[in-house]
Amino acid sequence: MQPILKSSKLNNVCYDIRGPVLAHARQMEDEGHRIIKLNIGNPAPFGFGAPEEIVQDVIHNLPDASGYSESKGLFAARKAIMHYTQGKNIPGVQIDDIFIGNGVSELIVMAMNALLNNGDQVLVPAPDYPLWTAAVSLSGGTPRHYLCDEQSGWLPDLKDIENKITANTRGIVVINPNNPTGALYPREILEGIIEIARHHGLIIFADEIYDKVLYDGNEHTSIASLADDVLFVTFNGLSKNYRSCGYRAGWMVVSGQKKHAGDYIEGLNMLASMRLCANVPGQFAIQTALGGYQSINDLVAPTGRLCRQRDLAWELLTDIPGVTCYKPKGAMYLFPRLDPAMYPIQDDQQFILELLIEEKVLLVQGTGFNWPHPDHLRVVFLPNADDLTESIGRIARFLDGYRKK
């Protein structure tokens, strides 16, 4: 019998966050090992549960949530999102410009599928949240990675963006605050990106899912608030700001230069209709989440658990010889660099597999985020202080052994 092959559409698609090393970790757990997981940005299992009022709201509305909603989402939820965009100074957003999805993930794939023809290119940051690269490839497009510069605090390199634009470039992805680096972009950089997009007629895809997970009193500027003559698609949701990944509630907002984008928007409408609607119980949580008391602020305050864990993990990691790390201004990740002179890693996936086997700590390798060199790791700082101290101690021990090999 002929082997059953996967579609060639998947040939260039890669999502290492849930890749082969995770499968190995699961197997080790089945064998009875306790693995400390610093690999996935899923707050709830680490005691960062969804705010109680959101949970109660979902429970309360469950009896009314068994039917399909409108394809683009519940009116009340979209109205709340519309107010949210107003609060962020994004101009001219109407209810119809808002699409609710099963998390931002579904909408990223939808936004790429609706846009790209074979050979079209999208500029994606390196490092990136790898779903962006995967979604461009799956949609028949070609991701072209522009560099974010570690020396400048991981800011996008505007010259590199310019250099990578071709006649086939359709859009620029901006992840701000950034996963995996934790960078937060200042207004000048955002304006620089807009200028490039304006000049070349590109769409800006702004992934702002961590816009409330900000430390040290930093504030977030939505790139779509800075112009109305460029097309923006801005993504956000409940997964991170409201620790509700499992409710699968995300949205995208089309704004700016909409009048030339009618055909693209029709494509988005078509894809939204084809999947009928997003998870309705999750949609019910949106209005409650966006209004009133924002408990994330307590977690990111200097005395808040998330901020304290960022500080602890950053201090412990940067105490390790040959390890340097930008201190994140937002999100829930550290992206440390291992000095290649001390740690001449050839294959970083193999490296984190060995770390897993020897020390029972699970990370994701930097190349899994489309970083071109095997010299970075991503560390999630959601586990509690004891687990962070224990696991980073084990990483230090492993690196010590690696250096002496």
240-279 positions binding ligand PLP, by CB under 6 A: 245, 250
Contact range with ligand PLP by CB under 6 A, out of 185-193, 194-202, 237-245, 278-286? 237-245
What Rg do the C-alpha atoms of the chain give, in angstroms?
21
Q: Does 127 bind ligand PLP (CB under 6 A)?
A: no
Q: Does 129 bind ligand PLP (CB under 6 A)?
A: yes
Question: What character string, x for contact with ligand PLP (CB under 6 A) and - otherwise, covers 84-103?
Answer: -------------------x
* Nearest-approach distance from CB 236 to ligand PLP, in angstroms: 8
Q: Does 104 bind ligand PLP (CB under 6 A)?
A: yes
As a dihedral over the C-alpha atoms of residue 31, residue 33, residue 34, residue 37, rounded to 10 degrees, the angle is -80
Q: Which is nearer to ligand PLP, 105 or 345 (CB)?
A: 105
Residue 334 has phi, psi (to 5 degrees) of -120, 145
The secondary structure of 335-365 as a DSSP string is: --EE-TTT---S-HHHHHHHHHHHH-EE-EE
Question: What character string, x for contact with ligand PLP (CB under 6 A) and - otherwise, covers 206-235?
Answer: -x-x--------------------------
The enclosing H or E element of 175 equals strand 169-175
How far is residue 267's CA from residue 116's CA, in Å, rounded to a whole number? Answer: 11
Q: Report the residue from 105, 133, 139, 221 that binds ligand PLP according to the rule CB under 6 A.
A: 105
How far is residue 145's CA from residue 123's CA, in Å, rounded to a whole number? Answer: 6
150-209 positions binding ligand PLP, by CB under 6 A: 175, 179, 207, 209
Q: Is the peptide bond before 328 cis (omega within 30 degrees of 0)?
A: no
Could you tell me the CA-to-CA distances from 83 to 3, 50, 217, 287, 297 in Å, in that order? 52, 22, 23, 10, 19
22-81 positions binding ligand PLP, by CB under 6 A: 41
Q: Give how many residues touch ligand PLP by CB under 6 A.
A: 13
| Contact footprint for ligand PLP (CB under 6 A) | 41, 103-105, 129, 175, 179, 207, 209, 237, 239, 245, 250
